[in-house]
Amino acid sequence: VEASIPEPQRAAWRKFTPKPFVTSEEFEKETVKHIETTLARSLYNCDEVAAYGGTALAFRDRLILDWNKTQQSQTFADQKRIYYLSLEFLMGRALDNAMLNVGQKDSATKGLGDLGFRIEDIISQEHDAALGNGGLGRLAACFLDSMASLNYPAWGYGLRYRYGIFKQEIIDGYQVEVPDYWLDFNPWEFARHDITVDVQFYGQVNRWQDDEGKQHTTWENGETVQAVAFDVPVPGYETQTCNNLRLWGSKAASGEFDFQKFNSGEYEASVADQQRAETISAVLYPNDNLDRGKELRLKQQYFWCAASLYDIVRRFKKTKRSWKEFPNQVAIQLNDTHPTLAIPELQRILVDLEGLDWDEAWSIVQKTFGYTNHTVLPEALEKWSVPLMQHLLPRHLQIIYDINLNFLQYVERNFPKDRDMLGRVSIIEESTPKMVRMAYLALIGSHKVNGVAELHSDLIKTTIFKDFVKIYGPDKFTNVTNGITPRRWLHQANPKLSALIASKLGGHEFLKDLTLLGKLEAFVDDKEFRKEFREIKYANKVRLAKHIKEHNGVTVNPAALFDVQVKRIHEYKRQQLNIFGVIHRYLQIKAMSAEERKKLAPRVSIFGGKAAPGYWMAKTVIHLINKVGDVVNNDSDVGDLLKVIFLEDYNVSKAEIITPASDISEHISTAGTEASGTSNMKFCLNGGLIIGTCDGANIEITREIGEENIFLFGNLAEDVEDLRHAHLYNHYELEPKLAKVFDEIHKGRFGDAGAFSALLNGIVEHGDYYLVSDDFASYVQTQELIDEAYKDSEAWTTKAILTVARMGFFSSDRCIDEYAESIWNIEPLVQKKEEA
Ligand code: HBZ
């Protein structure tokens, strides 16, 4: 308020308030201005990179006008906001999305054409914002798009990593990691050097009494690091709402760049302090579904939670409301357990800094938080060692112990007969060293816990959180099945299909209400529509084939069946099952007569995905895929019948090319291990069919699209435990076809067999934990069904069209509405239309 322009001067100001560009000429004017001034380039010195820069800056200006208004009106309306805390936001590129969301792609296409550029070339200059690992990070990005598109007052909070997920290079068939320095030129962020928070680490806790005898607790003498806000605008689709993603960067706190040291000749030491502070936000941890317990990771978590909560509390305090209204103004969603420290941090703020009593504070905390679980894999459940936490966050550890004490007393009162229960549900695991179980803390500190697909939400209630269902009752647990944004994953990635659908449905409304796709069923027998639908798939395959030629040097036939598995490489996702299946196919082709070969449907097996740098088994799988590719692709016996491609550096922008080009995609995790999966939804939405297990969202996809339109195989989740048990205690035989595959690998047909021994031994000798052998026969058989089905192009087209038509449920808009209604209790705030 203090900084606002005095009333008499506002007229002058308003006269010059910038207006958003509308025509292609206005767009050109803005772009040329940015290229010539902001970027200091000229007519004679403007390559595609500069043209991208100018275009992006023109669109950024456009977004910022909406952003400013949105923030003002949200402040003014003063209603409840949702804060989405995620250590990962896998945003991908922003320019195309911005153009489509503000409805200005046509003027940009025309404008760039006038200036001598093709829009696709300009769009592809942008570096992906790759601040995430996989599904969890991309889900957060889809959610931001939906929250803005549905006009919810929402903020994302994350970390501004200087290095996102590494770039993957494949050298001699091995994954090599290269740092992803992506900030050289990032027009989408605003550094807010005036918005900072000092965050403390280490130090001691002091308890003291004031003159009135009141107890106080203070946390003192720690090291301070400064958080600086970087804001990224998040535009909604066809709405004026432009929300904010606030990413925190770390630097040495003011005064910390120690002039004492500096002047006394310890220049190096003082620079070292600076660098240590900057290290906190330097790099994204590249593990997905694995917890490694590194101190720097815990520092990242606290740094980000503390800065975000300070910011949220600061905003709340400006409203001068009483504390008990906090949960009516603020909902905070925890994207997995990574932000769980926000729970003891809010309790600390309320009790130590604001002087609330414990119970009052705790009731506010529980009403504020919701927790989303994304995995039941034991190796992914976060635990932090008590000694580490004691050292880094001594006050938080005390608070966690107090939370635990209150909780265990409650459990003891209610379950006096079950003595073992206390040890099982305690936040503190009594191991050496003791560990803090973050999922339990997140659950106890939240009012709702949700899984991300029906099966997964059931599983958490019967496995990892079983005791807690008894303690709190089933209503604390709920399901919100994941979704994806149709703007990026249909309209942007597959503009031709989006246009075809719009031509049948009378416009692009379905991008805002995806259930409208249902109306496509009426066209399933329309000859012309079917033809265009097939042509679009073919054109998308031609585009991918071109990419493969350029990057892998292999010619693939776009008429072949494109079989795609792209996702993080993980044993539970079973890329090994896929590549063993490919080897089996190769051996079969080799054994066929020329006549038999003629009858076979040609196939291209396409893989992509990163392995965590320390995950040797996953790296071995990548190596095997590449070795098999070398042999198969150069075998003249095989020709077009089979090609095996590993696409380097799978990321969001590559997914936008790959997803629309698949005929079949593989979602073949061991049943009960993949919480949801979201790429399964993306492929279906683009008219690709699925081969999959009864796992995660595959089950709900099947229910929606019909069993006849999906290729399911394999054991069920309910049988997995017994099968594993049987492997460990009975003698078991390898599935015979798989045994043949292993023989060939052993013989050295795909290079040095020793390189793959750990992979094969895990299956042959060490219990086959992921049930590759148990599922192999049904996998191969189902692939044969697919071969047959693909030959009947008409029947295939029907399946593909019906699949698209029935995907309405899987929009992240539906998903966000469910969170808003059943967990956050927030309402949309529609921006007033600009007066003419
Ligand atoms: O979250 C994924 C699940 O595996 C997938 O099934 C689900 O669809 C998706 C969205 O709900 N989980 C992850 O992607 N998890 C991580 O990337 C991860 C990253 C760091 C960790 C743990 C997990 O420390």
Q: Considering only 251-255, 360-364, 775-779, which range has the smallest mean pLDDT?
A: 251-255
Tokens of 186: 């990032």
- Looking at the predicted complex, does its ipTM rise above 0.90? yes
pLDDT confidence of residue 264:
73
Minimum-distance ligand 1 atom for the alpha carbon of 285 = 20
Minimum-distance ligand 1 atom for the alpha carbon of 677 = 8
Nearest CA to ligand 1 atom 8: 677
Q: How far is the CA of 4 from the centre of ligand 1 (A)?
A: 44
pLDDT confidence of residue 595:
96
Tokens of 228: 């600086």
Mutate to test the pocket of ligand 1, among 289, 340, 376, 651 (most ligand atoms within 8 A of CB): 289
DSSP 559: T
Q: How far is the CA of 288 from the centre of ligand 1 (A)?
A: 6
Q: Indicate whether 44 pLDDT > 80.
A: yes
Ligand 1: lining residues by beta carbon, under 6 Å: 133-136, 139, 287-289, 291, 374-375, 380, 452, 482, 674-678, 696
Contact indicator for 642, 554 with CB cutoff of 8 Å: no
Nearest CA to ligand 1 atom 5: 677
The pLDDT tens digits of the residues spanning 102-149 come to 999 999 999 999 999 999 999 999 999 999 999 999 999 999 999 999
Q: Is residue 360 helix, strand or coil?
A: helix
pLDDT band at 293 (very low <50, low <70, confident <90, very high): confident
Residues 6+ apart with CB under 8 A from 424: 467
Nearest CA to ligand 1 atom 16: 288
Nearest CA to ligand 1 atom 19: 288
pLDDT confidence of residue 377:
97
pLDDT confidence of residue 835:
45
Minimum-distance ligand 1 atom for the alpha carbon of 675 = 6
Contact indicator for 396, 404 with CB cutoff of 8 Å: no
The pLDDT tens digits of the residues spanning 665-690 come to 999 999 999 999 999 999 999 999 99
Minimum-distance ligand 1 atom for the alpha carbon of 133 = 17
Task: Return the percentage of the chain with pLDDT > 70, whole number.
Answer: 98
Minimum-distance ligand 1 atom for the alpha carbon of 132 = 17
Domain boundaries in the chain? Answer: 486-721+773-820
The pLDDT tens digits of the residues spanning 716-768 come to 999 999 999 999 998 889 999 999 999 999 999 999 999 999 999 999 999 99
Q: Is the peptide bond before 344 cis (omega within 30 degrees of 0)?
A: no
CA 719 to chain centre: 30
pLDDT confidence of residue 346:
99
Nearest CA to ligand 1 atom 17: 288
Average pLDDT of the chain is 97
pLDDT confidence of residue 269:
80
Q: Indicate whether 259 pLDDT > 70.
A: no
- Report, as an integer, the average pLDDT of 623-641: 98
Minimum-distance ligand 1 atom for the alpha carbon of 138 = 10
Q: How far is the CA of 482 from the centre of ligand 1 (A)?
A: 12
Q: How far apart are CA 493 and CA 657, in angstroms?
A: 7
Q: Indicate whether 836 pLDDT > 90.
A: no
Mutate to test the pocket of ligand 1, among 85, 88, 133, 136 (most ligand atoms within 8 A of CB): 136
608: left (phi over 0), alpha (psi -120 to 50) or beta: beta
Mutate to test the pocket of ligand 1, among 375, 454, 570, 571 (most ligand atoms within 8 A of CB): 375
Q: How far apart are CA 499 and CA 807, in angstroms?
A: 17
Q: Indicate whether 399 pLDDT > 90.
A: yes
* Pairing, β 129-131 against β 89-92: antiparallel
Mutate to test the pocket of ligand 1, among 88, 374, 810 (most ligand atoms within 8 A of CB): 374
Minimum-distance ligand 1 atom for the alpha carbon of 482 = 11
- Report, as an integer, the average pLDDT of 380-386: 97
Q: How far is the CA of 134 from the centre of ligand 1 (A)?
A: 6
Q: How far is the CA of 677 from the centre of ligand 1 (A)?
A: 9
The pLDDT tens digits of the residues spanning 755-800 come to 999 999 999 999 999 999 999 999 999 999 999 999 999 999 999 9
Q: Which of 788, 786, 528, 801 has the alpha carbon at shortest distance from 687? A: 801
Q: Indicate whether 203 pLDDT > 60.
A: yes
Q: How far is the CA of 287 from the centre of ligand 1 (A)?
A: 10
Q: Indicate whether 308 pLDDT > 70.
A: yes
CA 692 to chain centre: 21
pLDDT band at 254 (very low <50, low <70, confident <90, very high): confident
**Contacts within 8 Å (CB) and 24+ apart, 19-25:** 19/65, 20/62, 20/65, 20/66, 20/102, 21/58, 21/62, 21/104, 21/107, 22/104, 22/107, 23/107, 24/106, 24/107, 24/108, 24/110, 24/111, 24/114, 25/111
Q: How far is the CA of 336 from the centre of ligand 1 (A)?
A: 8
According to CATH, the topology of domain 486-721+773-820 is: Rossmann fold (3.40.50)
Q: How far is the CA of 135 from the centre of ligand 1 (A)?
A: 5
Run of H or E residues at 191: strand 190-201
The pLDDT tens digits of the residues spanning 269-290 come to 878 888 999 999 999 999 988 8
Q: Which residues are catalytic?
A: 374, 567-568, 573, 678, 682
- Report, as an integer, the average pLDDT of 196-223: 96
